[in-house]
Amino acid sequence: MRPYWLMNFPPVWSIWVFLTVFGVTYWLDQWFPVAVFTGLRTLLIFLASLVFGAWRVIAFYPYPAGKYGRWLTMTPWQFGTRLPNGSIQLNASDMLTVGLLCSITLWDHDISIVTPLAIFLYTYIICATYSTFSGIPWRKYWLKKVLIAAIMPFAFYPVVSVYSMVISLAVCYWLCFSLLREVLKDFPWNQIAWLQSDEEVLTKKSLKTFIAGWPYSALAAIEKKEPRIKNRICEILVPILLAVWWLHAMMALTLDKNCFPLSFILVCIALLGIGIRLSCYLTGTAPPISLWGRIFNGYFIIPKYDRIFLAPLLVVILVFFAVYFMPESTQYAVWIFELTIFALLVILRGFPPSLDQWRQTGAFRIVRSKMIEKQASQVINKPKTVFEKNPVDLLMGK
Amino acid sequence: MKSIISVRNVWHHYGISPVLKNVSLEIESGKLVVVMGPNGMGKSTLLGLIGGTIYPIRGEVEIDGKIRRSSIENESAIRRQLVYLPDTPFFPPNSTGMEFILAVARLYEIDSFRAMEHAEVLLGVFDLKEKAHSPISSYSTGQQKKLGLCSALITEVPILVLDEPFSGGLDSAALLAMSKILKMLAAREDVTVVMAVPVPELVEPLADKVVIIGDGEIIAYDTPAAIKQQAGGEDILLAEALESLVHPDKINIIDQYLKERKS
């Protein structure tokens, strides 16, 4: 049996596969010395670091809906003792694996020795942070998640440098380490209690409504308490600010900003956003009256229905002005672009009516939507987790 | 007696011509009201408006003092106390009958054990016990109709809105069961039933009041006896009363046709 610290070492077969492919490219390089083989080896190191970073989380994190997580809830495991499958936190065996990948870069000197470490850590931090969303309301531990997302771009913003990368990675890893500890401390995750008190109740309800078919699914009395205005502003603004911050940092990466057809990208993003918003609002609904009916009967505006078109209209006006007044100077154009993206996201996400308000008070006809029918026929085939089962099913041994 | 359902000055169009024209209706709590009328005259639209799947172009629908779709709180409260079963509901095909009924019960926050017990009884009443654990896709049209009725009844809500519950291939046993259940519900003062029925004879002994719709307007709204009286006498059938109120010439045309065929 492997010692505990070696349980996170990658499977032997994967090391063999890596070394064999690496060896074959090296052998071919001897016979056909072309640059493509060096590039292949670099790509291989990139991929290996990426896959290892993701595997380190996926294989060792006890996801509540996964087999490991469900099994763990049946055991007396608690925070402070070792996780039976191996640690989720990084340890000596990871240093060994990543150290090996880093030393291999010395073979070709094509990439920096710290590149595999940076890729591994980035992937690990992103996957570990994302994993803490699984089965847990996203509002829990939100501060650390937001900080990780906000600090990460400093690795390459305003300029790519080893120092900024090391500092940002170190801070993000510390936050991620502390986040994972906090999450594991709460194990076994009391999902049911959270579901009762949180908006996640909707997810639970949606499962019921899909099975309940039409019109029950559409007429279900799902009452979602509107979050307080402060929370609502945070819910809308924080993700949008993060998205725009990432966009800004990524755009700063490309020195030659002329390569961006900014106006075109802006129009595409606006159309995509409008499409997503309208499909969310209009799925399963039909206008109260046909267009001809409106024209012939003089119902040109039906306020309780037409209000959902206000946000898309505002976005169209905003984008029109942004494109029209887009300055020649690339530097200012990027600012206008980013500000417009921020404004259009705020409008699309936050302009009234909210989705819940619309579904309960909109002047539409409720119709059977093909998409919901499809979901209804699929959802029952989805294997249920212990949390999704109702007490009757559990008693019946289903 | 207090009105539990009020339909006030409702107009509704799907296209150019109106389906309902300035319809007003007050339904008292604890009554069984049957909506009748020829095809395409607005029965299902009226039930859809009460049931909440349709929003009127003009006018308003009030359920137990709350106007439909006026606010999230009002709409949620209405949805908790009213169930609407359309003529052709959609059932998730891969789900079993039992799963479907229990899912509906859970939506209406019926205690799981109580729902389980009630579901067993309902499935027995409608001869669906053997199919209870089979996927709904294997059910016949009549069996799906029965399942829809079970799903409406399991909710235990005080207001039932049923669109043509007797149609769709129900066998005689199911018709009898449904009649008896409706009779029981009609006798209760805390349950209000509104349903559209094309065959008047089935509901004549059950209905407290009958609404007759013709050409998008309410032609008559009264007890079956009063409607017969209005149509020409207590001895006539309710179907004849319906025809003479909606199409006054129709009876004459039929009589004329029969006379010609005899001679």
User: Is pLDDT of B95 > 90?
Assistant: no
Q: Are A386 and A273 in contact (CB under 8 A)?
A: no
Q: Are residues B194 and B120 in the same domain?
A: no
* Domain contains B177: no
Which ipTM value was assigned to this complex?
A: 0.87
Task: Pick the closest to residue A55 from A107, A13, A109 (CA basis).
Answer: A13
Q: What is the pLDDT of residue A230?
A: 63
Tokens coding B243: 């025809």
Tokens 């009748």 belong to residue: B36
Same domain for B219 and B100: no
pLDDT tens string B46-61? 999 999 999 999 999 9
Residue B217 within a domain = yes
**Is B26 found in the same domain as B117?**
no
* Residues B194 and B71 both lie in one domain: yes
* Rounded distance between C-alpha atoms, residue A312 and residue A275, angstroms: 9
Q: What is the pTM of this model?
A: 0.81
Task: State whether residue B80 sits within 8 Å of chain A by CB.
Answer: yes
Same domain, B76 and B168: yes
B138 has a chain A CB within 8 A of its CB: no
Let me know if residue B238 belongs to a domain.
yes
Q: B31: pLDDT confidence band, cut at 50, 70 and 90?
A: very high
Contact check, Cβ <8 Å, B79/A220? yes
**Of A355, A267, A212, whose CA–CA distance to B151 is shortest?**
A212
Residues A326 and A264 sit within 8 Å (Cβ to Cβ): no
Q: Are residues B74 and B97 in the same domain?
A: no
Domain count, chain B: 2
pLDDT in tens, chain A (398 residues): 678 888 889 999 999 999 999 889 888 888 877 777 778 888 999 999 999 999 999 999 998 778 888 888 888 888 889 999 999 999 999 999 999 999 988 877 778 888 899 999 999 999 999 998 877 777 788 899 999 999 999 988 888 888 888 899 999 999 999 999 999 988 877 655 454 444 444 455 566 666 788 888 888 876 665 555 567 778 889 999 999 999 999 888 775 656 668 889 999 999 999 999 999 999 889 999 999 999 999 999 999 999 999 999 999 999 999 999 888 777 788 889 999 999 999 999 999 999 889 999 999 999 987 776 776 666 555 444 444 444 444 444 44
Say if B180 falls within a structural domain.
no
Alpha-carbon span B100 to A209, nearest angstrom: 10
Domain assignment of residue B29, yes or no = yes
CATH of the domain at B28: 3.40.50.300
Q: Which residue of B has its CA nearest to A222?
A: B76
Q: Does B21 touch chain A (CB under 8 A)?
A: no
Per residue in B146-165, pLDDT (tens digit) is: 999 999 999 999 999 999 98
**B142 and B228 together in one domain:** no
**Residue B115 belongs to some domain of the structure:** yes
Please tell me the least confidently modeled range out of A84-93, A369-378, B181-190, B204-213: A369-378
* CB-based contact A220:A212 (threshold 8 Å): yes
User: Does residue B181 sit within a domain?
Assistant: no
CB A240 within 8 A of CB A346: yes
Closest by CA to B36, choosing from B227, B221, B245, B211, is: B211
Tokens in use for A166?
Answer: 């090391």
Comparing CA positions, the residue from A387, A392, A398 lying closest to residue A69 is A387
In a domain, B183, yes or no: no
Using DSSP's 3-state secondary structure scheme, residue B207 falls into coil
Distance between A57 CA and the closest CA of chain B, angstroms: 35
Does B99 contact A362 at a Cβ distance shorter than 8 Å? no
Q: What residues are paired with A176 via a beta bridge?
A: none
Q: Are residues B39 and B163 in the same domain?
A: yes
Is the Cβ–Cβ distance between B113 and B101 less than 8 Å?
Answer: no
Whether B70 and B166 share a structural domain: yes
Rounded Cα distance between A211 and A230, Å, is 35
Residues B56 and B38 in one domain: yes
Contact between B75 and A360 using a beta-carbon 8 Å cutoff: yes
Picking from A211, A221, A290, the nearest residue to B76 by CB comes out as A221
Do residues B115 and B75 share a domain? no
- Work out how many CB contacts closer than 8 A connect A with B: 133
Q: In which domain, by residue range, is B120 found?
A: 90-156
Query: Residues B72, B163: one domain?
Result: yes
